[in-house]
Amino acid sequence: MVRAHNPQARTREPTPWKLQRCRIVHPENESLIDDGLAVYFRAPYSYTTHPTIELHIHSGRALIAALLSSLSRIPSLRPAESGEFTRQALLAGRLDLTQVEGLHDLIEADTEVQRIQALGTAGGETRAQYDSLRSQIIHCLAQVEALIDFGEGEDIEEGVYDRAKAEASTLLSQIQGHLADSRKGELVRSGIKMAIFGPPNAGKSSLFNYLANRPASIVTPIPGTTRDVLELTLDIGGLPVVVADTAGLRRTDDVVESIGVERGTDAVKNADFSVCVLPLSEVLSSDGSTIALPKDVQELITPHTYFLLNKADLVSNPLPTSNLVIDGHPDTAGRVWTASLATGEGTQAFVQGLAGALMSQLNINGPSAQSQEHHAPLVTRERHRVHLESACRFLKAFLALPPEDVVLGAEELRYAAQALGRVTGDIGVEDVLDAVFRDFCIGK
């Protein structure tokens, strides 16, 4: 369907990987469709590894429709299904399953930290780590199989079995380390859950609206205004955060409000971290040094609670935050900020500080650290976690076997390698393919 001007060129293979201007004409009647650009990718150096022609045409609905309809006149052509190009790339081994997932995450990324993580995974960083772990297990397995075939002391040097065990044990702790990474990869991919809580009238909904940059939650001077949990996914310093505004914590006879308080309490307990908003003027001790926590708030404080002491405008000359102590919680340094959501003072510093604290808690390099070396996390989906956990179980089973059970040991190592192969799609790929490609856009 793409024909060059020079009639002799019709029979020649186009120059590969060179963008060329050409007339794009109808395959049957040769009527002009557009004056565009075309590039030919010679196999296997294309996205799918198959020979590929890419047409660059002017935009416009009628133009695209005319081109697609003329392409469909060529008997061997049909429109691609969603994710079909990527599926071909996967089946040809050009991408592995983690890269395909990374590509999907890249297309879906809403925030900078998500984009950076997905870019690393799509580019093969995660694949390289899985391949390395798997080849180390296979190295162990090779030693154990050599023992089965030849027996220690005769053809094989002494200590091979012990060495294989030492290697397996190092691998096991490496994988366990990845599994204990505070679900960082999964949180960045699907959003970190943060609940705002505190006593009524502290400014929780004002904070929610400030973060959302719009009046998403109703703010009034009447305590008990917010009754249900409100949720929004927001970008906080590049991190995707699912923020929940909750009803103020207090005992109340109002049935609706007390259900709201119960729901709010659950939201705080289920969140990955929370922000406790307190009205500074009401919780500050008379000497101005200590913050007294209201009773209903106390039981929800954890090491993952951050504090915003709001309404600083109502306190004359408040002490610097670093000198304030939260009563009963001497370990809150770096987790307390003072601000006024009414005047805006201190609010930016709070958001920046919160994003920084979350980044360091999750051990994430922020967008500003982009040039530094970083490793894509090994676990960005439950699927990865399941297979890594089963690899750990097989490695442990191998380590628990006595040397005389060397044949069983080899079997356990084989299973461990297979478990990792399932993450990258080298093994058992068919059953996950449909799930992975379902959400892909057409074509890509």
Ligand X SMILES: Nc1nc2c(ncn2[C@@H]2O[C@H](COP(=O)(O)OP(=O)(O)O)[C@@H](O)[C@H]2O)c(=O)[nH]1
Query: Which residues here bind ligand X, judged by CB under 6 A?
Result: 200-206, 219-221, 225-226, 248, 310-311, 313-314, 340-342
Q: Measured from the CB atom, is 240 or 248 closer to ligand X?
A: 248
Q: Which does 424 bind (CB under 5 to 8 A by kind): ligand X, Mg ion, none?
A: none
| Residues binding Mg ion: number (CB under 5 A) | 3
Residue nearest to Mg ion (CB): 226
Among residues 87 and 204, whose Cβ is nearest to ligand X? 204
From the CB of 198, what's the least distance to ligand X, in Å?
6
189: part of which helix (H) or strand (E)?
Answer: helix 184-190
**Residue 87 binding target from Mg ion, ligand X, none, CB below 5 to 8 Å by type:** none
Tokens found for residue 33: 């469709």
Long-range interactions of 417-421: CB distance < 8 A, separation 24+: 417/134, 417/137, 417/138, 417/141, 419/387, 419/388, 419/390, 419/391, 419/394, 420/130, 420/133, 420/134, 420/137, 420/387, 420/388, 420/391, 421/134
CB-based contact 164:144 (threshold 8 Å): yes
Q: 8-29 burial by CB neighbour count: b if 16+ within 10 A, else e?
A: eeeeeebeeeeeeebebbbbee
Which of Mg ion, ligand X, none interacts with 310 (beta carbon under 5 to 8 A by kind)? ligand X
Smallest separation (angstroms) from ligand X to the CB of 354: 17
Residue pair 244/275 in contact (Cβ under 8 Å)? The answer is: no
Kindly state the smallest distance separating residue 217's Cβ from ligand X, in Å.
Answer: 7
- Nearer Cβ to ligand X, position 75 or 320? 320
State yes or no: residue 310 binds Mg ion (CB under 5 A).
no
CB proximity list for 344: less than 8 A, separation 6 or greater = none
Distance of CA 235 to the CA centre of its chain: 14
Q: End-to-end CA distance of the chain, in Å?
A: 21
Which residue number, 111 or 274, has a Cβ lying nearer to ligand X? Answer: 274
Q: Which of residues 88 and 206 has its CB atom nearest to ligand X in the complex?
A: 206
Residue 313 interacts, among Mg ion, ligand X, none and using kind-specific CB cut-offs from 5 to 8 Å, with ligand X
Nearer to ligand X, 114 or 340 (CB): 340
Binding site partner of 203, from ligand X, Mg ion, none, Cβ cut-off 5-8 A by kind: ligand X
Dist. CA 304–CA 241, nearest whole Å = 14
Judged by beta carbon, residue 126 or residue 205, the one nearer ligand X is 205
Scanning residues 77 to 116, which ones bind Mg ion (CB under 5 A)? none
Which of 77, 35, 30 has the alpha carbon at shortest distance from 53? 77
Nearer to Mg ion, 226 or 340 (CB): 226
Structure tokens at 321: 């935050």
- Length, in residues, of the chain: 444
Considering CB distances under 5 to 8 angstroms, the limit depending on partner class, which of ligand X, Mg ion, none binds residue 75? none
Judged by beta carbon distances under 5 to 8 A according to partner kind, the member of Mg ion, ligand X, none in contact with residue 184 is none
Residues 215-254 binding Mg ion (CB under 5 A) are: 226
> Nearest approach, Cβ of 217 to Mg ion (angstroms)?
6
Find out whether 337 and 350 touch, Cβ atoms under 8 Å. Answer: yes
- Cis? peptide before 79, omega within 30° of 0: no
State the nearest-atom distance from the C-beta of 64 to ligand X, in Å.
49
Q: Kindly tell me which of 175 and 277 has the beta carbon lying closer to Mg ion.
A: 277
Break the chain down into helix, strand, coil percent, rounded to 5. Answer: 45, 15, 40
DSSP lists the bridge partners of residue 338 as 309
Interface positions, 158-217, toward Mg ion (CB under 5 A): 204-205
CB 228 to ligand X: min, Å: 12
Q: Which residue type, as a one-letter code, is found at position 279? A: P
Closest approach of Cβ 231 to Mg ion, in Å? Answer: 14
Residues in contact with Mg ion by the rule CB under 5 A: 204-205, 226
